Amino acid sequence: MVTVEGRGTEAEGIRTGAGALLASAMDAVQAINERCLRVLQRLARERMSEPPRLVGALTSELRELDPLVVPTISRQPFLFVDFAFGNPRALLNALTREPLPLRFPSPRGVFSTADATALARGALILAQTVCRHHPAHAGLFLGMHPQLLRHVALLRQPDVDRLAEESPHLLTVRWESRPDIWRALLSTGVSCDPGALAQFRMYGIQLIAGDLAQRTGRGSERH
């Protein structure tokens, strides 16, 4: 009888520990999202003559966004940034230090090198944790291609630091070419409506699932 109770307690502890790890991963997703939004706000307020396309399209929305609602907008179960998580070819080339041949000049990214490196490091640390402990959630949280799960789970801290510092160009804003999606996201904070936040959550999940299904279906040769 004592043995059974002991096993029950141990199992409960395992479940509690797994739940705590998952909650911690969710907190990390939201923290990175919040940092992304604050960087975008800062860029919109710098009044650059040639802002990045997404920032230019959302300048008024970002400038008028109340900083106090940024944490609320950030409460989504997926990252607002990407690090080629859906593109095995690009990320594996970076992991093996093999540069991906460029057919065209790289378009100007949204973030500066410093901002991209910092966000990339946070995204990679999160990805490493999720792929090790919650691989079933990697598709939702990160838009992670199944081929990358094992490789990312095996990353060490020096690998994470090197990737973030040497390949900041891989850090992109999710839906960078779709300002309409970002307007819908930002509007969830303006409306202060929990229903709007939940509605966008489902919309975002559908978008990520659709993008991932398309990439896995075509072999993920491109991002």
pLDDT by residue for the chain (223 residues), tens only, comes to: 434 445 555 444 444 566 776 788 899 999 999 999 999 999 999 988 788 999 999 999 999 999 999 999 999 999 999 999 999 999 999 988 765 555 444 445 789 999 999 999 999 999 999 999 999 999 999 999 999 999 999 999 999 999 999 999 999 999 999 999 999 999 988 777 888 889 999 999 999 999 999 888 765 444 4
Q: Which residues contact 66 (CB under 8 A, 6 or more apart)?
A: 189, 190
What is the pLDDT, as a whole number, of residue 104? 43
CA angle 32, 39, 181 (to 5 degrees): 75
What is the pLDDT, as a whole number, of residue 109? 74
What is the pLDDT, as a whole number, of residue 4? 41
Contact predicate 146/137, CB 8 Å: no
What is the pLDDT, as a whole number, of residue 120? 97
**DSSP-assigned letters across all residues of the chain:** -HHHHHHHHHHHHHHHHHHHHHHHHHHHHHHHHHHHHHHHHHHHHT--SS--HHHHHTHHHHHHS-GGGHHHHT--SS-SEEESTT-HHHHHHHHTT-PPPPSSPPPPPSS-HHHHHHHHHHHHHHHHHHHHH-GGGHHHHH---GGGHHHHHT--HHHHHHHHHH-GGGEEETTTT-HHHHHHHHHHHHHT-HHHHHHHHHHHHHHHHHHHHHHHHTTS---
Where along the chain do its domains lie?
12-217
What is the pLDDT, as a whole number, of residue 190? 78
Here the tokens at position 171 are: 């850090």
What is the pLDDT, as a whole number, of residue 168? 94
- Pairing of the two strands 81-83 and 171-173: antiparallel
What is the pLDDT, as a whole number, of residue 159? 94
What is the pLDDT, as a whole number, of residue 47? 80
What is the spatial distance between Cα 33 and Cα 69, in angstroms, rounded to a whole number? Answer: 13
What sign does the dihedral 158-163-168-174 (CA atoms) show? Answer: negative
What is the pLDDT, as a whole number, of residue 96? 85
